[in-house]
Amino acid sequence: MIRMLGRAGRVPAALAGIVLLWWVLSALPGVNPVFLPSPPVVTAAFVELWTDGTLLGDLRVSLGRAAIGFAIGATLGVLVGLLTSRTRLIGHAVTPMLMLLRPIPAIALVPLAIVWFGIGEGSKHFVIAYTVFLAVWLSTHHGASSVAGTYIRASRSLGAGRLREFFEVVVPAAAPHIVAGLRMGAALAFLSLVAAELTGASSGIGFRIQEARQFMQTDVMFVNLILLGVLGAALDAAFVAASRRLVHWEVM
């Protein structure tokens, strides 16, 4: 308990140190406030954006896009990962192609996504789902491929059929890897969200950052960047907490 409290106390202390350093740097002579706005200026921008509803509207739009893209990518990633790991023919045919796609960043697909799906929501969902899919697929594929042979032989010796073996041995054994992939996919969903919203969007956190850049509103940029960081950290903490309950036999 004491150790957990000590760890919990480090986060506020680290954040306080970062804010203090930021404040000192922004107050140094010769530092242009346009390039590095001070914490009070950013706080004032946050209050203004929140009061007029801009920030809340962008947050709703971006979270909706991220949720849809994540749901599509995660579902396909788990299903395809289980198939490529446990079905030799599918694995040999699909795995090399997916390995070729892995190095391609989401932002490089934005122009192609717009050509395929237009500038509407479809292109944004595609970019996010693509990024999440590859992360979840790789982790699921690795986890399901690494199931110990002794578990498989033991289940077969007890008379388990293929279907029962899959759901009672393979899936539970791969579950920690699947959850880890979902955790990584959730983080990548926010990264690809910004890339998807930089072009062809009229609302959202990424759009607001791009618009603020055009008008040199660095305080607005800081507000949205900090918001992304807070959302990502909160989501990651939620995944860690969920993993302790769902896959308690292997804590992440």
pTM: 0.83
Residues 208 and 160 in one domain: yes
Do residues 5 and 90 share a domain? no
Domain that holds residue 27: 1-31
CA 84/CA 145 separation, integer angstroms: 9
Q: Going by C-beta distance under 8 Å and a sequence separation of 6 or more, which residues neighbour residue 43?
A: none
Q: Is the Cα torsion angle 73, 76, 82, 85 positive or negative in sign?
A: negative
- In CATH, what number is assigned to the domain containing residue 130? 1.10.3720.10
- Do 190 and 83 lie in one domain? The reply is yes
In this structure, the answer to whether residues 7 and 55 fall within a common structural domain is no
Note down pLDDT in tens along the chain; length 252 residues.
Answer: 445 444 555 667 787 888 888 888 888 888 888 888 999 999 999 999 999 999 999 999 999 999 999 999 999 999 999 999 888 898 889 999 999 998 888 888 888 898 898 888 899 999 999 999 999 999 999 888 877 666 666 666 666 666 666 776 778 888 888 999 999 999 999 889 888 887 777 889 989 998 999 899 999 999 999 999 899 888 888 888 887 777 765 544
